[in-house]
Structure 1
């Protein structure tokens, strides 16, 4: 746990309070702006709902309606943007600083131009069809702005670290309309404390950012999910499936860490990204659900409209293209990809279970599996639970099987990490940290 700031003078306290409010506003505006950019690029690229960037027509509906040739063309363009863009960032910009590193640093400021370019590239490539997530971009922008605000206000190093973490949480809260998860992520995933001097700014900044995002985007959950009931079948399944999901999530984390650690940062990045995304475009001719960060497959999984066979195929292909994209040098988050993988894997397990104990809808398995997978792949179980409930807004009784599955998943992953600890290979873990911005 990082040292927290000592008592402050009245003038210093007022500056501190002003910075808290400004970080919340900055995170909200950044999240709203990046969401608008994402939708704009998506609509223009695939030619749907051009008249409004925030329409009821989803990205997956637009991609599915687009011609096969257009899918290939947009993914080829995605490869060009990703390869040239990130090669240029690594070649000419200041070295990127991850949020986690900034929070630990004595100088938590992140380079402005490099961070902005890195974030915009993530948003544009995800909009064009990259299988990686978009949540890192608003977190980076929020953290970068927070670092500059704290430097201008003359806050202490300890206070600045807290504010940078809060900026990241505000960005997450805004881009997904998840103020509770944003605050929990700051405390659980970045600061590792529940001291009031961290809790108060985390809650306030995420609440402000979420309010601004809701004013611009509307107060709607990310996924339209029926209110599934908590049944005996789901509870027993959660007990048995949680550890299996934990193993799968742990293996997924190993794969993605491996890919990030070995991703090129020189001119090879251009060719590898071009080939990788062209291949994804060719796969999208038959499987348009592959395109994007995984929200589409997760949605059809949550509403129970995926079959066992199709879910298994999508799961294998989604893991494959996520690994190849990271290995080629593309950057992006793994929140929604992990959530998607958990939902698909749970549908496979749930389909087998339903043959023995029928009655539970496949969508209910998907929601539980998404939470359990996300808790392990992100290593933030409380944040994962908060995200799932803000994403889907299920009935309160549905929390029981979710909590059971998350507990089993985290316990199993913690157990296997004792024998396969990445810290035993410092060269690989260090490279992964440098890549995981």
Structure 2
């Protein structure tokens, strides 16, 4: 039975069906719970307004609910503010954003408070983000490929739309048309099934959805009809909806900018202030404004007079923009449909008086879809959504006329939906990232950039800067300060300032352009060319955080384009992916460099991480923690299912340790066919300054490997500084032995020793040097210099010991056993370390023999340090 179940679940399409049902079920339950809780608390709010004067109760409830919801969204689960729809769209475009179970819970609770307090927002945005977050969590509980995870998130979002509107087809179309734009069989099937289940759950549970039982309303006095003379009125409605929809989108962006610029306080106070204003408005306006559902029913039933509807449109238009700008967690699709229904009602009233035909309620439905389309740019979804809610075929033609007209007008005035504009306001340009007009445009900046960049210091005098330009062929220079990019200086900037005759005592920092336009290594050439054209630049610095990692000029792009035109499909020899990131978290990029630590063994992870944060704190570095999952070569890195439980546990412990030591910790999990290749790729892509790795140090490795199959290639190829730690189970290091032989690696070992010994309670350092037994007058200069360097850090905890033996490894090991040393710190050879096997690799020999001996005291942790090498 168990095997049969395993076979059932292992079939992709059956597993997809089970996942889709689970996603639809939880999304439907979440939407139902949200609707019921909003209804319950909303009724209590209206009851309170009857018992206490409305001008006291409504503003107070709005303020308190706004502050609490803002605190939840701002501090408990950052990323849960706002609609949530744009964040889901960004995640589906592979932009890293939080999408967790905590976010779903906080979104549900904060949206409940906001909507129950009378904020003029909708619940479809929260249900979409909640559905996507729950689907993402499901993909973590049952590991799957990154592409499949993306499909599940899209299905969760579609289920959220379906549950909010009780419109399963519209939920699927919204995913295809706006969010995912992918109609492959398994994606479409998963989205359809999830949306159907979510809608069914919402209906069975009696969820108070937007449609308000339209069937019951239509069966009474509402009779929708369409006649040819009404076409001009529907065209007028589409034009008005398109123009006002664009105005609505721009108003929201202006509101966001206003809050950031003139009311830049914490999110709880922004949302609380919006709630206070909303409460005052609701207390002042007619009582019908206090019930959003009742107001929508009034607009669609044809029972309102046009003066009240005009007031509804104007007040709601301004109030929605004001509230949205505060960051309140709530959707914008339902509010836009409310505005559209009011606009349609007004046009329908005009038509009723002019043509003496048609019902204002019919125009309200058309206006609802047209305004919805103008805001979100999903014409097919808009038509199907209203049709699903009304089940009235008489509305199809008017809907198509109004929606298509509104979409054409809106696209003519401004390209992109409201969610695209919100993402662009936050610096995320989805259209530019996905556009590929030419084959070469898909290349990444890291594949084309020049990694060696001529720079200029910010504290250089202007006269000296002129000399630099005269000796170089470059016309612009990136300006650096403390290893970070701070500006850009062009030859024109220098000449113009010199012509003014005010160059005395001026520095480059006084003339440069601060905060220059930059790109990141993962940007495409299409995006880089767009930046060059938009800002009229000749070159563009490539940065990782504020660290300069390369530069791209127009000449580089012209060369690539010419190579493709000449028939070279891969002129730069673009590297194929040797590993694939499936999990990643980022910390503030505030360090002067980056240290990579590879964690795989839970027994040694804590010790390696403690060493990493100690060194990072001493050097003011950030820590990049890497966990690699190796998969068979015949399996795809993108599609193979993997378990990340161990990796996420190790990375979570690493992040906690970083918080304790106040060191920024980035984490990532990679799947790879080859462990070594994945390490080297991470070192290159993350611009690692120092790598820290553990290795077994066993003498049972194959003879062709000096250290190990992983370590040897890393030593040969990694250009960064390298620390190799052979762990023997110690958790405390107090007695340190450092053999001295001169050279850059020993110097680096001495420089790192203060950071390493900070892990000791009472460090005791022995500096030793091995001399030939025949040498009667050994030169102790190297020992004395090292002791002098360490003395300010370790004071009386240092001693120097000359050793006499014809074998360096034997002398070091004998003394380590005699002194009961906990750790031996060795400097590796700078060049040709692996070739020393012919004459005996001293670090390897010490490592491989450090665990031999009759006494447990013979077990030592060996730390091998190698300085950086040139490419």
Q: Specify the TM-score bucket, using the shorter chain as the normaliser.
A: 0.7 to 0.9
Which of the residues 220, 243, 260 maps onto 2:256? 260
Q: Residue 197 and residue 71 in structure 1: after superposition, are their counterparts in 2 closer, same or farther (change >3 A)?
A: farther
Q: Which residue of 1 aligns with 2:288?
A: 289
* Number of matched pairs: 408
User: How far off is 1:43 after superposition?
Assistant: 2.3
Rounded Cα–Cα distance in structure 2 between residues aligned with 1:421 and 1:336: 14
Which of the residues 311, 314, 336 maps onto 1:313? 311
Q: Does 1:90 align with 2:90?
A: no
Mean alpha-carbon deviation: is it higher for 258-267 or for 25-34? 258-267
Q: Which has the higher contact order (CA 8 A, sep 6+)?
A: 1
Q: Which residue of 2 aligns with 1:383?
A: 381
Q: Residue 320 and residue 298 in structure 1: after superposition, are their counterparts in 2 closer, same or farther (change >3 A)?
A: same
Higher relative strand content: 2
After superposition, what is the alpha-carbon deviation per residue over 1:148-188, rounded to whole angstroms, capped at 9, x for unaligned?
11122222111111110110111221233111111111111
User: How far off is 1:296 after superposition?
Assistant: 3.1
Mean alpha-carbon deviation: is it higher for 211-220 or for 19-28? 211-220
Structure 1 portions without partners, runs of 5+ = 1-8, 49-62
Which of the residues 131, 153, 166 maps onto 2:120? 131
Tell me if the contact between 1:338 and 1:370 (Cα under 8 Å) persists in the aligned partners.
yes
Tell me if the contact between 1:234 and 1:365 (Cα under 8 Å) persists in the aligned partners.
no
Rounded Cα–Cα distance in structure 2 between residues aligned with 1:335 and 1:110: 21
Mean alpha-carbon deviation: is it higher for 215-224 or for 418-427? 418-427
User: How far off is 1:88 after superposition?
Assistant: 4.5
Which of the residues 394, 400, 405 maps onto 1:403? 400
Q: Does 1:355 align with 2:319?
A: no
Q: Residue 161 and residue 328 in structure 1: after superposition, are their counterparts in 2 closer, same or farther (change >3 A)?
A: same
Q: Alignment partner of 1:430: what SS?
A: coil
TM-score, scaled relative to structure 2: 0.44
Q: Which residue of 2 aligns with 1:34?
A: 34
Rounded Cα–Cα distance in structure 2 between residues aligned with 1:419 and 1:20: 30
After superposition, what is the alpha-carbon deviation per residue over 1:61-119, rounded to whole angstroms, capped at 9, x for unaligned?
xx8xx467247413422222212431343235354582112212276761322332133
Which of the residues 136, 143, 146 maps onto 1:147? 136
Q: Residue 214 and residue 91 in structure 1: after superposition, are their counterparts in 2 closer, same or farther (change >3 A)?
A: closer
Q: Residue 244 and residue 103 in structure 1: after superposition, are their counterparts in 2 closer, same or farther (change >3 A)?
A: same
Rounded Cα–Cα distance in structure 2 between residues aligned with 1:198 and 1:208: 16
User: How far off is 1:429 after superposition?
Assistant: 5.3
Q: Which residue of 2 aligns with 1:19?
A: 19
Q: Which residue of 1 aligns with 2:109?
A: 120
Rounded Cα–Cα distance in structure 1 between residues aligned with 2:73 and 2:299: 37
Q: Alignment partner of 2:116: what SS?
A: helix
Q: Residue 291 and residue 263 in structure 1: after superposition, are their counterparts in 2 closer, same or farther (change >3 A)?
A: farther
Q: Residue 21 and residue 329 in structure 1: after superposition, are their counterparts in 2 closer, same or farther (change >3 A)?
A: closer
Q: Alignment partner of 1:20: what SS?
A: helix
Q: Which residue of 2 aligns with 1:4?
A: none
Rounded Cα–Cα distance in structure 2 between residues aligned with 1:411 and 1:314: 26
User: How far off is 1:211 after superposition?
Assistant: 1.3
After superposition, what is the alpha-carbon deviation per residue over 1:199-228, rounded to whole angstroms, capped at 9, x for unaligned?
111111111111111211179942434231
Alignment of 1:34-183 (within 5 A): 34-47=34-47, 66=50, 69-70=53-54, 72-96=56-80, 98-105=87-94, 110-183=99-172
Rounded Cα–Cα distance in structure 1 between residues aligned with 2:78 and 2:253: 23
Rounded Cα–Cα distance in structure 1 between residues aligned with 2:163 and 2:420: 33
Q: Residue 424 and residue 312 in structure 1: after superposition, are their counterparts in 2 closer, same or farther (change >3 A)?
A: closer
Q: Residue 385 and residue 29 in structure 1: after superposition, are their counterparts in 2 closer, same or farther (change >3 A)?
A: same
User: How far off is 1:120 after superposition?
Assistant: 1.7
Which of the residues 247, 252, 263 maps onto 1:251? 247
User: How far off is 1:425 after superposition?
Assistant: 11
Tell me if the contact between 1:187 and 1:202 (Cα under 8 Å) persists in the aligned partners.
no
Rounded Cα–Cα distance in structure 1 between residues aligned with 2:69 and 2:419: 30
Tell me if the contact between 1:86 and 1:118 (Cα under 8 Å) persists in the aligned partners.
no
Q: Which residue of 2 aligns with 1:239?
A: 235
Q: Residue 407 and residue 12 in structure 1: after superposition, are their counterparts in 2 closer, same or farther (change >3 A)?
A: closer
User: How far off is 1:19 after superposition?
Assistant: 1.4
User: How far off is 1:314 after superposition?
Assistant: 1.2
Rounded Cα–Cα distance in structure 2 between residues aligned with 1:422 and 1:167: 18
Rounded Cα–Cα distance in structure 1 between residues aligned with 2:328 and 2:417: 26
Q: Residue 201 and residue 290 in structure 1: after superposition, are their counterparts in 2 closer, same or farther (change >3 A)?
A: same
Tell me if the contact between 1:80 and 1:274 (Cα under 8 Å) persists in the aligned partners.
yes
Rounded Cα–Cα distance in structure 2 between residues aligned with 1:250 and 1:45: 33
Rounded Cα–Cα distance in structure 1 between residues aligned with 2:99 and 2:10: 28
Rounded Cα–Cα distance in structure 1 between residues aligned with 2:401 and 2:368: 13
Rounded Cα–Cα distance in structure 2 between residues aligned with 1:172 and 1:400: 24
Tell me if the contact between 1:87 and 1:266 (Cα under 8 Å) persists in the aligned partners.
no
Q: Alignment partner of 1:47: what SS?
A: helix
Q: Which has the larger radius of gyration?
A: 2
User: How far off is 1:373 after superposition?
Assistant: 0.7
Q: Alignment partner of 2:427: what SS?
A: helix
Structure 2 portions without partners, runs of 5+ = 1-8, 431-871
Rounded Cα–Cα distance in structure 2 between residues aligned with 1:424 and 1:180: 26
Q: Alignment partner of 1:409: what SS?
A: helix
Rounded Cα–Cα distance in structure 2 between residues aligned with 1:419 and 1:78: 33
Mean alpha-carbon deviation: is it higher for 104-113 or for 370-379? 104-113
User: How far off is 1:414 after superposition?
Assistant: 0.8
User: How far off is 1:257 after superposition?
Assistant: 2.8
Rounded Cα–Cα distance in structure 2 between residues aligned with 1:93 and 1:80: 19
Tell me if the contact between 1:187 and 1:198 (Cα under 8 Å) persists in the aligned partners.
no
Q: Alignment partner of 1:130: what SS?
A: coil
Tell me if the contact between 2:104 and 2:134 (Cα under 8 Å) persists in the aligned partners.
no
Higher relative helix content: 1
Rounded Cα–Cα distance in structure 1 between residues aligned with 2:57 and 2:208: 34
Tell me if the contact between 1:177 and 1:213 (Cα under 8 Å) persists in the aligned partners.
yes
Alignment of 1:150-229 (within 5 A): 150-217=139-206, 221-222=211-212, 223=214, 224-225=217-218, 226-229=222-225
Q: Which residue of 2 aligns with 1:414?
A: 411
Q: Residue 420 and residue 144 in structure 1: after superposition, are their counterparts in 2 closer, same or farther (change >3 A)?
A: closer
Q: Residue 418 and residue 278 in structure 1: after superposition, are their counterparts in 2 closer, same or farther (change >3 A)?
A: closer
Q: Residue 278 and residue 136 in structure 1: after superposition, are their counterparts in 2 closer, same or farther (change >3 A)?
A: same
Tell me if the contact between 1:119 and 1:136 (Cα under 8 Å) persists in the aligned partners.
no
Q: Alignment partner of 1:306: what SS?
A: coil
User: How far off is 1:362 after superposition?
Assistant: 1.3
